[in-house]
Chain A
């Protein structure tokens, strides 16, 4: 294991590839089974059974859905702008997945005498034992999620259909507005942490037996950020861009087969990312009781927290009706942005006094 490539040990590359594979497969599996979980959970909340036929209690349903979508015919509308139409699902899907590169899903584990931090874009300096990661991690996630808008906008425009265009316009307006308030909510976390690195932010929340979470110090920011994130990824109660009853699925009306599946996957991958980001920023990431001594407990806590937040999203979908468009804009601009600004000022005064 002492082979050195470009100044880094062989183990570094093996660990990197392994981490990427593990995170990617984890997100893919979560996405596949989130669709199943959503149908099951909403079903039981509405006193139905949900999918029951494929496999035991419908456990093979996501695979059946995937195979079905895979073998469907691809249709490109004759009046569509072909290039934009083809590339839009990819633009929607890729940013949803690559944001996972900076999210720490565990502490530093040791394999064969080599320390591996459980975060894709990071490494441990062998000499000092310090963990280095992208030191603007949160900004990276915000930047990537701002690119995700293009997928939906282009899909809406390129389909050359009125419903799609309306859906695309609604989506872009909504995502841009809520990006602002989500950003303002995060700023108050930065004011406490003094760093933009995800790894540092998680480490700062490790006190009090793993329960020194920013959600307790910044409850308003936590609630605002989570609501704005749900709005940004177009989930109920803010799923106006899709709005089956009025826009017949909005921007993805004209899509079929795997391209439709990509939008579907992007939506759920975004949900995983947003829940992981909320966990990292506000719920202490992989921190929990004994997580620093038994490092393998870290990923377990992380996944548990993420799944709880995802369950919460599905719960919201089963409970809350869709907002009207003017109500949505009203909340975004006239409630969340002033609240976010007030929160920043209060945090600033608090920091100054203490």
Chain B
């Protein structure tokens, strides 16, 4: 059952990911990207990480993609006339082929390493995934967490200064 579900979601994820690059209309590409993010969130649920799934949908599919859709709407990019871009197609397929080869080699040659941190699946199920993330975030990784928030604050201040002519 779980395998079947995984296969269906993977199929949707792959098709929508292909549509992101093949759609002529940028809005349709953006919509496909949202669908891809949604499928990724489903994977998080299957990996017993519901908090990450919710955050994935909220932050990526919700906030970031709204900004992208917004930008496309404001720039008002319409479907551009198709030009023959054969050299790009050749270059793209060469790069794509080698990336695929590389991934295939990595997937088939390497062993899957077991997680060797202190947290196992049982502990996560027992204590709760959200609680564990919260605790780690505010104890072990407190400094990186604070640095990230200061970085975001700097970005916000920068955006306000750039956007406002008179402060």
Contacts and interface: CB of A to CB of B under 8 A. Distances in A.
Q: Do A and B come from one complex?
A: yes
Interface of A: 6, 81, 83-84, 87, 134-136, 139-140, 142-144, 146-147, 149-150, 153-154, 157-158, 165, 168-169, 172, 176, 196
Q: Which of B65, B70, B129 has the most CB of A within 10 A?
A: B70
22 contacts: A6-B1, A135-B128, A136-B51, A139-B51, A140-B54, A142-B58, A143-B57, A143-B58, A146-B58, A147-B61, A147-B62, A149-B62, A150-B34, A150-B65, A150-B66, A153-B66, A153-B70, A157-B27, A157-B73, A165-B73, A172-B70, A176-B66
Contact of B57 (A147, A172, A176, A196): A147
Given A81-B25, A135-B128, A143 B66 contact: no
B31 interface: yes
Nearest to B49: A136
Interface of B: 1, 25, 27-28, 31, 34, 50-51, 53-55, 57-58, 61-63, 65-66, 69-70, 73, 128-130
B163 to A, nearest CB: 14
A83 B28 contact: yes
B58 to A, nearest CB: 4
Interface of chain A, helix or strand or loop or mixed?
Answer: helix
The 4 closest A-B pairs by CB, nearest first: A146-B62, A139-B54, A143-B57, A143-B58
B28 A84 contact: yes
B66 A136 contact: no
A153 B66 CA distance: 9
A176 B63 contact: yes
A315 B25 CA distance: 43
Given A139-B58, A147-B57, A150-B66, A196 B27 contact: no
A136 B73 CA distance: 33
Nearest to A196: B130
A266 to B, nearest CB: 17
A6 B5 CA distance: 14
Contacts of B53: 136
A143 B66 CA distance: 13
Nearest to B2: A6
Contacts of B27: 81, 84, 154, 157-158
B66 A149 contact: yes
Given A143-B61, A196-B51, 9 more contacts: A81-B25, A135-B130, A136-B130, A146-B57, A153-B69, A154-B69, A157-B27, A165-B73, A172-B70
Contacts, number: 71
A338 to B, nearest CB: 15
A46 to B, nearest CB: 37
Contact of A153 (B1, B58, B73, B129): B73
Contact of B54 (A84, A142, A154, A169): A142
A197 to B, nearest CB: 9
A139 B55 contact: yes
Contacts of A143: 54, 57-58, 61-62
Nearest to B55: A139
B109 to A, nearest CB: 35
Question: Which of A142, A147, A149, A153 has the most chain B CB within a 10 Å cutoff?
Answer: A147
A87 B31 contact: yes
Nearest to B61: A147
A87 B35 CA distance: 13
A154 B62 CA distance: 14
Contacts of A136: 50-51, 53-54, 130
A129 to B, nearest CB: 18
Contacts of B55: 139
Most buried by B among A81, A146, A172: A146
Contacts of B66: 146, 149-150, 153, 172, 176
Contact of B31 (A84, A139, A144, A196): A84
Contacts of A140: 54
Contacts of B62: 143, 146-147, 149
A140 B66 CA distance: 18
Contacts of A6: 1
Contact of B50 (A81, A83, A134, A168): A134
A344 to B, nearest CB: 14
A58 to B, nearest CB: 40
A144 B57 CA distance: 8
A154 to B, nearest CB: 7
Contacts of B69: 150, 153-154, 157
